[in-house]
Homo-oligomer: A and B are copies of this chain.
Amino acid sequence: MDTLETRELRYFVAVAEELHFGRAAERLGMAQPPLSRAIQQLERRLGVTLLERDRRGVALTAAGEVLLHEARAALDAATAAARRTRRAAQHGDRLVLATKAGASHELLRKLLDAYAAEPEAAEVEVLMCGIGEQARLLREGRADVALVHRPFDDLSGFDTQDLLTEGQVAVMPAGHPLAMRDSLSMAEAAGVPDLPIARWPRLDGSYPPGPGPEVKDQAQMAQLVALGLALIVIPASAYAWLWAEHAAVPVSDAPAVTTTLAWPAHSRSLPLARLVGVAARL
């Protein structure tokens, strides 16, 4: 039938996230009454009740929950369309590659060198971003391709090309008794009484429960470990940034980590295809 306007979707997402017409209107830079009316119109057009107005606040219905997810995806697609079009016009074939700070230096170096050696290689701009942000950058059209790590990052909706699979190591102060061992189990790593495992933020930004300190980048981690305050379990290649005060011991039963190239599924860019081809031959 009729396709929803992005304006309607934007309005609905704001209300669904705030669960409050006044605040949502403020966030949208408009007055509350037109927003109320717009949502009513949306509900009439869909023939669906999206919000339960229960004096004192608003709640999403099941259908509203569905629309919230779908609307976010549709809005991402629309903004990505604009961004990718602008980028295509301004920088022609340039590729933007998103990567986590501090991960897989050597692999990325190899990939970029191999790609640069290709005939007709496009410029590649490397975009450093925070942990777990690559997916958002891809979805919003800010990047063309990203270096991600399974099983940590969310790859749904992307095409992928695996590059390298590796085990994980436990990093601890060099002098620690366990540092002599050839390998550890997760249970052993988690059971060290004076060295709790440091905790990374999850995809949504919250931290898993546990006794260890909360960290948000590798510098913090390195510091904590060197000080003898925590132990960490990370992919073996992240080894590169270790200091003299650190020791690394393989953890035999930790899940393997795969470094993967990911890009939007429907992408048709020729330079991207070339980069993926190079990656596949690494």
Q: How many copies does the complex hold?
A: 2
B89 and A49 contact, CB distance less than 8 A: yes
Asked if A73 is at the interface of the complex by the 8 Å CB criterion, the answer is yes
Residue interface bits A34-61, CB-to-B below 8 A is 1, else 0: 0000000000001111100000000001
Rounded to whole angstroms, the CA-CA distance of A81 and B48 in the bound complex is: 13
Rounded to whole angstroms, the CA-CA distance of A243 and B265 in the bound complex is: 40
A67 and B46 contact, CB distance less than 8 A: no
Within the complex, the shortest CB–CB distance from A162 to chain B, in Å, comes to 16
Q: Which chain B residue has the least Cβ–Cβ distance from A85?
A: B67
Rounded to whole angstroms, the CA-CA distance of A191 and B6 in the bound complex is: 55
Within the complex, the shortest CB–CB distance from A17 to chain B, in Å, comes to 16
Within the complex, the shortest CB–CB distance from A91 to chain B, in Å, comes to 11
B-side contacts of A84, CB under 8 Å = 66-67, 70
A70-B81, A74-B74, A84-B70 known; A89 vs B3 contact (CB < 8 Å): no
B-side contacts of A2, CB under 8 Å = 82
Asked if A178 is at the interface of the complex by the 8 Å CB criterion, the answer is no
Q: Which chain B residue has the least Cβ–Cβ distance from A10?
A: B3
Asked if A110 is at the interface of the complex by the 8 Å CB criterion, the answer is no
B-side contacts of A73, CB under 8 Å = 77, 81, 266
A46 and B78 contact, CB distance less than 8 A: no
B6 and A156 contact, CB distance less than 8 A: no
Asked if A79 is at the interface of the complex by the 8 Å CB criterion, the answer is yes
B-side contacts of A62, CB under 8 Å = 88-89, 92
Asked if A1 is at the interface of the complex by the 8 Å CB criterion, the answer is yes
**Told that A3-B78, A48-B88 touch, could you supply 12 new A-B pairs with CB distance under 8 A?**
A2-B82, A4-B79, A4-B82, A46-B82, A46-B89, A48-B85, A63-B89, A67-B84, A77-B77, A156-B265, A157-B159, A157-B266
